[in-house]
Amino acid sequence: MGDPNAKYQSPLTSRYASPEMAANFSNNKRFGTWRRLWYNLAVAEKQLGLGGITDLALDQMKSNVDNIDYEVANREEKKRRHDVMAHVHAFGLVAPEAAGIIHLGATSCFVTDNADLIIFRDAMDLLIGKLVCVISDLAQFAVKHKDLPTLGFTHFQPAQLTTVGKRATLWIQELLWDLRNMKRARDDLGFRGVKGTTGTQASFLALFAGDHDKVEQLDQLVTELSGFSTCYPVCGQTYSRKIDVDFLSPLASFGATAHRIATDIRLLANLKEIEEPFEKDQIGSSAMAYKRNPMRCERICSLSRHLMVLIGDVLQTASVQWLERTLDDSANRRISIPEACLTADIVLTTMQNVVEGLVVYPKVIERRIRSELPFMATENFIMAMVTKGGDRQECHEQIRVLSHQAAAVVKQEGGDNDLIDRVRACEYFAPIKDDLDELLNPATFIGRAPQQVDNFVANHVAPALAPYSAAIAAKKPAELSV
């Protein structure tokens, strides 16, 4: 087979992807699914009275579904330039009794398109299973830190306080929307069914001697045998490539969510308030030994960008399908759709690894609050002075002067914010000196953040995760290979 390191390998599978998602897009899964579809078609045709299909033929087909001789298939494809007929030939060699009835009445898209729909649905099941685990872990993080005040940021400039847990609910809310979108896309997937070369079912009508009812029964029976309740009512040679757009859109949208969350964590890591896990022997930089780079979140951002742009491939493919079909969709779809699923899988695994090991540094957060809170508390100072008989406008002017003096110390001298010391030393503010500590208590600046976390988790997160309780209970720690 040669040295695998002597040729290009996709890092999606060689470095990052989970074994289960890589297996879902493997040749074994694809061509094994083709054979199951041929078997289902033969079973249904025989059940509806079509002659020439023996029990022995069905037994041979069933027992050889996964017995694929790739050398035979590859040799035949090189000769015929047709992958489906190459695998019809290879299947017939191991199921000789069925060789004459494999693919009977069908067109290539019977196996290629229907197999894709099965594989896509299985891929989405894997992604949803991982997404709910990420949401569950983040919800626990939010509840744990719901009362921990932290400086809010707008425009990445200091703003009013929030809590670490409340900030996490902003991430969770977007992930819940992603869960909704993925589930809807998964449940909306239908089956192409048994439609023939241009979607008219003419070949099957001929097989059943013009019996329209039997053709309709065949379509429904093969659909059900293949694990679907419904098939698309009409199609050309392929199912509409609009379905691929609907399938990939939630993944692209999730890519935006993942990028946003990972970017937030990277920003907070720079502030040393929150960090992704950093292993004992991990190296952050080959030159700067002290560094703790957020490589996991950087990987999430990098792959999420790739995930977001893949939607362009399926949009363009859907837009240029001529009449009943053209073949210029095939090569593109072999790359874009598996890569989208593999990339989403990698991002989710990495996100789970990050969330499971998020480290919070309360003392750093507290120090940053102390440096900014005096300016934010000035409105409280004014209100407190007014309640003790002060004049609002005069108080505002006193605060303005002291604030500008303190800001000059911070910006021009590089000193600490000494506004509170200036307020304490100012005779004008003597009436509230004893109240300053309480007026500066961070817990009084977080509004309803803790209550919002509790309400959000109880009323929105828990109901959304309830159908997946078994998957969440069976969750294992996410490990990265590199």
Query: Each residue of 207-260: pLDDT tens digit?
Result: 999 999 999 999 999 999 999 999 999 999 899 999 999 999 999 999 999 999
Q: Return the percentage of the chain with pLDDT > 90, whole number.
A: 78
Distance, CA of 343 to CA of 349 (rounded, Å): 10
319 is catalytic: no
Q: What angle do CA 62, 63, 68 make, to 5 degrees?
A: 100
Mean pLDDT for all residues in the chain: 92
Q: What is the pLDDT of residues 426-439, one digit of tens each?
A: 999 999 998 988 88
Q: What is the pLDDT of residues 41-68, one digit of tens each?
A: 999 999 999 999 999 999 999 999 999 9
87 is catalytic: no
The β-bridge partners of 274 are: 360
* Residue 423 CB burial class (10 angstroms; 0-12, 13-18, ≥19): buried
Q: Kindly tell me if the per-residue pLDDT of 283 is higher than 50.
A: no
Residue 289 pLDDT: 45
**What's the predicted TM-score (pTM) here?**
0.90
Which among 63, 82, 212, 285 is annotated as catalytic? Answer: 285
More confident residue, 4 or 389: 389
